[in-house]
Amino acid sequence: MVISVLSVVAFIATLLMRYNTFVTMSEDTQAKRSNYEVMIQRRDNLFGNLVKLTLNHAALEHSIFSHTSDKRTEGVEAGKGGPIGSALEQLMKQGGIGKLLGDIGGGKALLGADGGFGNALGRLMAVVEQYPTIQSVDTYKHMMTSLVEMEDRIATRREDYNAAASTYNIEITKWPWNYLAFITGFKRAEYFQEKPAGDTPIITPQLFQELLPLNHAQDIKK
């Protein structure tokens, strides 16, 4: 009789200990997921500001170049703006700026899966190549350095979360503890995977124009 009671007590104690283990692992997984999402939000904000800085500088350079060209050359059609302006106009016609902003300006769509960032960054670099003086701006250099460092931290946070999620998932699916996990409502944690670049949203060039000063946007539209 005493042995039976002790067996029941030991069994219940084991269940409680295992339940507490599930709780601890679940909380650890959620905390690491939250840390990862915070880093994604910061990266999204930083990259959005970097794009705005780049496009505004490009528009300003285009405006100055157009003004200088008009002063030096008579008979030039209004709104041509030389090769620099043409490059930006060509990007707009091809939807390059729109797709770039689609990749980073969708905000929540990007945050959802940390996706398409490399693709968006490549498009931003294409704009920077057309306006090399942007790279000499201290704010641009500082933001780009911060962006690279943040990408490293994001990769680390993603690995930490996936490792915690893997440990948690293994524990709640082991027999016979999978029955306890099912009864007590513990469910598998989803892993973070990089989103395919082709799934990034597309935003029209109208949003690009909203990011620029009004006079620059009108200058580019000519």
What mean pLDDT do residues 112-139 have?
A: 61
Q: What is the pTM of this model?
A: 0.57
What are the tens digits of pLDDT across the range 163-174?
A: 999 999 999 999
pLDDT for residue 218 is more than 90: no
Task: List pLDDT tens digits, range 148-161.
Answer: 788 888 889 999 99
What's the pLDDT score for residue 190? 92
Q: What residue spans of the chain are helical by DSSP H?
A: 2-72, 82-93, 96-105, 108-113, 117-130, 138-173, 177-184, 205-211, 214-221
pLDDT of residue 121: 64
Q: For residues 202 and 154, what is the distance between their CA atoms, to the nearest angstrom?
A: 24
Whether 220 contacts 212, CB under 8 Å: yes
Domain 2-221, CATH homologous superfamily name and number: LemA-like domain (1.20.1440.20)
Q: What is the DSSP letter of 199?
A: G
* Closest among 18, 11, 28 to 177, alpha carbons compared: 18
Q: Is the pLDDT of residue 214 over 90?
A: no
* Domains of the chain, residue spans: 2-221
User: Mean of the pLDDT values across residues 193-214?
Assistant: 46
Mean pLDDT on 194-199: 50
